[in-house]
Amino acid sequence: MPTDALLTLKLPEGYAFADLKLRRCADDAIDLDMDLVKLICHINGLDFDKVCQNPGPVVTSILTVWYKSHLAQGGQQDALMEQLKQQPRPLN
């Protein structure tokens, strides 16, 4: 089970990071396979409907944890994830 410094997240077995089908759909927005996000929410006991109301924090956590795991297992870098990592994070 991959872990992040602040988060433990179970990822679905039999899937790869690429299965998220991450893509940019606007300058400041991304798109990904929400059915897979729903599965991840389910296996982690998260309410998918609530996540959909404010997907940013959960989707960011999924992408961060899964991408770190993907790279640690020898996976290829993803161009969009590398761009996202370089973007300044807004202060809330």
Q: What is the reported pLDDT for 90?
A: 56
Average pLDDT, rounded, for the chain:
88
Could you write out the three-class secondary structure of 28-75?
CEEECCHHHHHHHHHHCCCCHHHHHHCCHHHHHHHHHHHHHHHHHCCC
Considering the domain boundaries, does residue 24 fall inside one? yes
Considering the domain boundaries, does residue 7 fall inside one? no
Per residue in 15-51, pLDDT tens?
A: 999 999 999 998 788 999 999 999 999 999 999 999 9
Q: Which of 1-5, 12-16, 46-50 is least confident?
A: 1-5
Considering the domain boundaries, does residue 11 fall inside one? no
Question: How many domains in the chain?
Answer: 1
The Cα–Cα gap between 92 and 89 comes to 9
Q: Rounded to two decimals, what is the model's pTM?
A: 0.84
Cβ distance 63 to 81 under 8 Å?
A: yes
Residue with tokens 């179970």: 10
Q: Is the pLDDT of residue 92 over 80?
A: no
Considering the domain boundaries, does residue 92 fall inside one? no
- Can you give the residue range of the structural domain that contains 42? 17-86
4 vs 70, higher pLDDT? 70
Q: Which of 4-13, 25-34, 43-52, 62-71 is least confident?
A: 4-13
